[in-house]
């Protein structure tokens, strides 16, 4: 059950948003005041509207973080004209979260991310906070985004309400309401309206539809939101990076990673020049960060052996490919973030010998229960992000998020955008350098 103080705070916040925004801004601490210098000044009194979304169940944790940025920047565009808040979809049932011993449903974003930081970019609230401020557990409109049945030969932004092309899991009950899983809240939450929408376009393209075709609704749900592409708000744009920089990891996870770095890797922010400040005030240049005295590797195994076996080295060839890098950068410690079985990790430790120490983060059962698979993954990413030199896995979104984190911290691209070649190659195409834009 939510803390009473939190409920009161949320109720006050969104009561405030029902007033004229200019008056609200003077008198209250609203979500729209969260560090934004360009907060809109709405000319007419408008109630806040809520945008909800979900992603294909098969998508992983790190791809979902990319979709969040697309939807968050859509909300930022909407707020140029009227007040919208983004409702964060609870985490759970993700393919790579395979630990069966712990419950991993209805997980709030605060478990993984700093909500105050997210709110410096756009107004956000947890799903349970949305339920707390709603008069009833209802979503007014649901749009299931899908492809065009006829396909497309040339790119052209368009959207149309169409017949549904695939099974979507929404059912209409005798009560004339639409029912669905809704993140595990399906026993209490329902929707008034459901339609399928064939969609081809960037995230901002749906803005006029949301403003003018849903004007009588307070809440709109976009399912399969990965259909909204970055478009002009791509990885290289300042708007993308504002959304990405706001995604600061939760402090309790950063603290665990920092303690591990200091205890085993001789790494602290002060020595490594990786201090993290309010992202709205940070403007680090390449080379500002030095990094801890260790090399970090994200080493994907398991399903990657089948999906990308021709692009990654066998476990037997990893030490031979890494040792020259250690020698070049005068490093004697390695941190490995990997899904490899214990015997493969022990093999690596043995092959590197006594002169090179090899570490991985192994949570206690209590830590795993408390922070879930997602929290453990973030701790791994946080430690990798602070290494002197980073080696990622081929086309892995887990590695992409680490590379972005290192860009935010101010590392040289040459120390970040690297991968190991397969057994038969000494050289191969390295990751694209998606550098930060302010």
Q: Which residues are catalytic?
A: 59
Q: What angle do CA 413, 289, 286 make, to 5 degrees?
A: 40
Q: Are 181 and 93 in contact (CB under 8 A)?
A: no
- Per-residue buried b or exposed e for 244-276, using 16+ beta carbons within 10 Å of the residue's own CB: bbbbbbbeebbebbbebbeeebebebeebebee
Q: Are 178 and 170 in contact (CB under 8 A)?
A: yes
Q: Which phi and psi angles does 426 have, rounded to 5°? A: -90, -25
421: CB partners within 8 A, 6+ apart: 313, 321, 427, 428
Please list the alpha-helical segments (H only) found in 172-250.
207-212, 238-245
Q: Which burial class, exposed, middle or buried, applies to 327 when counting CB atoms under 10 A from its CB (0-12, 13-18, 19+)? A: exposed
CA atoms within 13 A on the CB side of 384: 30
Q: Which burial class, exposed, middle or buried, applies to 365 when counting CB atoms under 10 A from its CB (0-12, 13-18, 19+)? A: exposed
Please count the residues of the chain.
438
CA atoms within 13 A on the CB side of 414: 3
In which element (H, E) is residue 372 found? helix 365-385
- Strands 219-223 vs 49-53: parallel, antiparallel or unpaired: parallel
Mind giving me the DSSP string for 65-106? Answer: HHHHHHHHHHHHHHTTTS-EEEEEPPB---TT---TTS--SS
In the chain, helix, strand, coil percent, each to 5?
40, 20, 45
Mind giving me the DSSP string for 230-261? Answer: -TTS-TTSHHHHHHHHT-PBPHHHHHHHHHHH
Q: Which residue has the tokens 């290494």?
A: 387
């Amino acid at each position: 059950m939510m803390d009473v103080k939190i409920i009161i705070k949320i109720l006050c916040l969104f009561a405030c948003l029902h007033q004229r925004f200019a008056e609200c801004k003077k008198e209250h601490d609203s979500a729209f005041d969260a560090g934004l210098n360009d907060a809109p000044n709405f000319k007419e009194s408008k109630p806040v509207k809520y945008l909800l979304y979900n992603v294909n169940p098969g998508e992983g944790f790190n791809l979902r973080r990319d979709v969040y940025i697309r939807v968050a920047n859509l909300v930022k565009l909407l707020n140029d004209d009227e007040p919208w808040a983004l409702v964060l979809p609870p985490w759970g049932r993700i393919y790579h979260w395979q630990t069966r011993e712990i419950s991993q449903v209805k997980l709030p974003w605060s478990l993984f991310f700093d909500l105050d930081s997210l709110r410096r970019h756009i107004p956000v609230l947890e799903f349970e906070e949305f339920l707390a401020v709603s008069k009833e557990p209802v979503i007014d409109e649901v749009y299931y985004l899908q492809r065009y049945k006829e396909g497309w030969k040339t790119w052209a932004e368009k959207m149309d309400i169409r017949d549904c092309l695939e099974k979507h899991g929404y059912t209409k009950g005798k009560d004339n309401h639409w029912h669905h899983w809704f993140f595990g809240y399906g026993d209490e939450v329902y929707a008034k309206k459901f339609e399928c929408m064939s969609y081809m376009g960037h995230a901002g393209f749906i803005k006029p539809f949301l403003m003018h075709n849903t004007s009588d609704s307070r809440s709109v749900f976009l399912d399969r939101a990965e259909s909204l592409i970055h478009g002009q708000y791509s990885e290289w744009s300042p708007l993308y990076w504002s959304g990405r920089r706001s995604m600061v990891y939760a402090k309790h996870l950063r603290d665990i990673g920092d303690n591990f770095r200091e205890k085993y890797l001789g790494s602290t922010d002060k020595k490594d020049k990786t201090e993290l400040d309010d992202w709205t005030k940070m403007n680090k240049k390449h080379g500002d960060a030095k990094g801890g005295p260790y090399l970090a590797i994200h080493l994907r195994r398991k399903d990657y052996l089948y999906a990308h076996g021709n692009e990654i080295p066998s476990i037997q060839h990893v030490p031979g490919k890494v040792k020259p890098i250690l020698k070049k950068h005068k490093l004697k410690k390695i941190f490995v973030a990997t899904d490899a079985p214990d015997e493969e990790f022990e093999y690596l430790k043995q092959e590197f010998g006594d002169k090179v120490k090899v570490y991985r983060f192994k949570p206690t059962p209590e830590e795993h229960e408390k922070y879930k698979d997602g929290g453990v993954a973030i701790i791994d990413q946080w430690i990798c992000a602070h290494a002197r030199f980073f080696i990622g896995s081929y086309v892995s979104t887990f590695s992409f998020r680490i590379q972005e984190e290192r860009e935010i911290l101010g590392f040289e691209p040459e120390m970040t955008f690297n991968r190991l070649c397969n057994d038969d190659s000494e050289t191969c195409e390295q990751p694209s350098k998606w550098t930060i834009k302010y």
